Structure 1
Amino acid sequence: MRIHVLRQFFLVLLLGLAAFQASANDQYQLSSGDVIKINVYGEPDLSFDEIRLNDAGTFSFPFIGEIDASGKTAGQVRQLITSKLQDGYLVDPRVSVSVVTYRSFYISGEVKEPGGYPYQPGLTLDRAIALAGGLTERASTNRITIVRNEGGNRVSQDASLETKVQPGDTITIDQGFF
């Protein structure tokens, strides 16, 4: 009886996590450095486990050519591929597009291991600092800036430890004055 209840609990938990990931992918805008997976049901020559978006946020797809995915969601890319494949190639293509690897964020300044780290959905600045080995002795938790892409422009803003990190962010932790 207990095993059955535990199985049901884990099944509900896994379904909830899958739904959360799907909703995160529906809102996430693709850009340069993201890796996506494309599956065209019944068409192994048109299915790819990993496609990395180039510096312009595009990728090449058989029969269609160059696809601009920059600023689009995985769902929008799916719709684009589906409509292009329907235009003279496949009668009823069933396409899925998902993000395999998000582009990195970068952290520098007063952290023990500055550098680029893979983004994870739901990442906050305090967890990003932990990924970078923690703060140095001279770090200030009040003097943190994030430079991020907003509407095609790089914008600098002050941040706190609770600030959500986005893919492609550049985080700088300044020294505190003692």
Structure 2
Amino acid sequence: MTRRCHTGFWVAGLALAGLTIQADAWNATAMAQDGPAVAAPLAEMSSRGDAALLMPGDRLRIDLFERIEPEDDRWAARRRAGRPDQSFYPRQDMTGEFVVQPDGTLPMPLIGNIRAEGRSGAAVAESIAATFEAVIGRTARVTQSLVERPPVSIVGPVRQPGIFRYVTGMTVQHVLALAGGLRRADDNWVRVEYAREQARIPAARERFQRLQVEVQLLRAEREGDGDEPNLRALVGVARNLIDEARNGRQRIREAYAERRATLDAAAVAAQEALDITQDRLAAAAVGVKHREERLKALKPLADANNIGKPVYLEASVQLSEANERRLAASGLVADARLRLAGAQSELSRFELDRRVELDRLLAQRLQEMGEARTALQSSESVVTLLAPEVEADTGALASFDFEIVRRRGNEWERITATPAAVVEPGDLIKFEINRNKIVVANQ
């Protein structure tokens, strides 16, 4: 058993020595070619990737090799007689693909974030090696390669708008090809839908404008503004629509005015009746006062038997009758006041109901106007969307205007472009038909 263990240790030692020899050969070659502690990017990386400045969204392949000191590697020390004491081993926990974050940093395990935006991949590799040495306390050799750039995207009348992988040197026309090319009106439903929505637009616009006029008239009527707004200048509609809406509201206003006149007349009549009954009450009060004074003057005479009792009794009866007339006049005054209050209350209720009705009608028309606006915008959007397929020769890119939206630091820049314009990583391509350039397709 002892012999078998010695044999196993001997085989393992040979294997580890072989790995050390391979690592030494790799290090010797790298030192002879590179010189510095940080290696150049891998050979398979494109020349543009090597020179390109990094930006958020870039994906880098990082390989980090840590240097092991001779006293930590006895097998390497035995095999390094007469050669530099360097042994490098890969750090799997710090090797892999890493993405530049929106804040411009490259997150690395153990050593934290490394500033990457606006720097080359080689400069980032040097920073990783320097940071590793400062944090871990060992030197490292770092290689990097730019695996993928931020994708480009396209929106517009293409078959498959979306996001596509960036390739060095690609142009706007390349992105169009990736998106399946311009959309064509090959299907009959496209032309049918286009014609149907185009036919809906005039009626939808007329309904929307009519509701605009009604809303303005209702607002002026609710606010009691005798001067109607200049509707033609306000909403820019035809005269017939304005006259039609105004005539409709005029008939309603006339009915309101007639009802208001009736209520006003009832209130005036009630006020006149109140005035008459109050005059009667005042006259009855004067009569009572005179009868009281006469009875008061006759009482001493009656007590002295200077006048007969029938005279005194007649004066008393006359006073009672005057009091009854005053009481009757008071009742008539109360009734007149009730009728006046009722007429005034009905008039106020009429005005309140009228204002509530105007508010309800205005809210209803505003809702209908919003729905009409939505319907009009929907039809116009469909027509605008399908117009490039129906009206334009889809083979002629000259019928379209192209624009590239490109990030510059923290801002976005809009650039007028052509199909041959070269795009950059992260670009957004927008294009739409220019109706002044349309080449009408042969039907």
1:99 maps to which of 146, 152, 156: 146
Counterparts in 2 of 1:154 and 1:99: CA distance versus 1, 3 Å: same
- Report the equivalent of 2:127: 80
Partner of 1:160: 418
Q: Unaligned stretches of 5+ in structure 1? A: 1-17
Correspondence for 1:118 among 165, 168, 175: 165
Equivalent residue, structure 2, for 1:109: 156
CA distance in 2 between counterparts of 1:46 and 1:25 reads 25
Cα distance in 2 between the residues matched to 1:117 and 1:82: 33
Q: 1:49 to 1:63 in 2, by over 3 A?
A: closer
| Residue number among 59, 73, 96 corresponding to 1:49 in the alignment | 96
Q: Is the Cα–Cα contact under 8 Å of residues 129 and 140 in structure 2 kept in the other structure?
A: yes
> How big is the shift at 1:144?
0.2
Is residue 423 of structure 2 the alignment partner of residue 170 of structure 1? no
Q: For the structure 1 residues 73 and 115, does the alpha-carbon distance in structure 2 shift closer, same or farther, using more than 3 Å as the test?
A: same
Q: How many residues align?
A: 161
Mean Cα deviation higher: 166-175 or 43-52: 43-52
Q: Which of 47, 61, 66 does residue 23 from structure 1 map onto?
A: 47
Q: In the TM superposition, what is the alpha-carbon distance from 1:24 to its structure 2 partner?
A: 0.7
Other-structure match for 2:57: 33
Corresponding residue SS for 1:119:
coil
Residue 405 (structure 2) aligned to one of 140, 147, 153? 147
TM-score (norm 2): 0.34
CA distance in structure 2 between the aligned counterparts of 1:84 and 1:74, rounded to whole angstroms: 15
SS in 1 for 2:155: strand
Distance 1:161 1:25 in 2: 24
Give the superposition deviation at 1:90: 5.2
1:152 and 1:27 mapped to 2: Cα distance?
22
Cα drift, residue 20 of structure 1:
8.8
Distance 1:94 1:20 in 2: 18
**Which one is further off, 80-89 or 33-42?**
80-89
Structure 1 letter corresponding to 2:173: D
1:127 is aligned to 2:198: no
CA distance in 2, matches of 1:19, 1:52: 21
Q: Distance in 2 between matches of 1:175 and 1:43?
A: 55
Q: Secondary structure at the match of 1:33?
A: coil
Deviation at 1:88, TM superposition (A): 5.2
Question: CA 1:51/1:23 → structure 2, altered by over 3 Å: closer, same or farther?
Answer: same
Identity of aligned residues (%): 29
Amino acid at match of 1:161: P
Provide Cα deviations, 1:140-178, integer angstroms capped at 9, x if missing partner: 544100011234421101111111111110101211323
Secondary structure of the equivalent of 2:432? strand
Give the deviation of 1:39 after TM superposition. Answer: 0.3
Q: Secondary structure at the match of 2:48?
A: helix
- Contact 1:147–1:154, Cα closer than 8 Å, also in 2: yes
Following superposition of structure 1 onto structure 2, how do residues 55-66 of structure 1 map, counting pairs within 5 Å? Answer: 55-66=102-113
Superposition TM-score, scaled by structure 1 size:
0.79
**3-state SS in 2 of match to 1:31:** coil
Give 3-state SS (helix, strand or coil) of 2:420's partner.
Answer: coil
User: What is the Cα-based RMSD across aligned positions, in Å?
Assistant: 2.3
Pick the structure with more strand per residue: 1
Structure 2: unaligned runs, 5 residues or longer: 1-41, 66-88, 185-387, 389-393, 439-443
Tell me how far apart the structure 2 counterparts of residues 68 and 56 of structure 1 sit (CA, whole Å): 9
Sort the Cα spacing of 1:150 and 1:25 in 2 relative to 1 into closer, same or farther, 3 A.
Answer: same
Residues 104-158 of structure 1 show CA distances to partners (whole Å, capped at 9, x for unaligned) of 1110012111111111111111111100111224265441000112344211011
Partners of 1:37 and 1:19 lie apart in 2 by 13
Counterpart residue number, 2:19? none
Give the secondary-structure state (helix, strand or coil) at the position aligned to 1:94. strand
Runs in 1 of length 4+ with deviation above 4 angstroms? 18-21
Higher helix share: 2
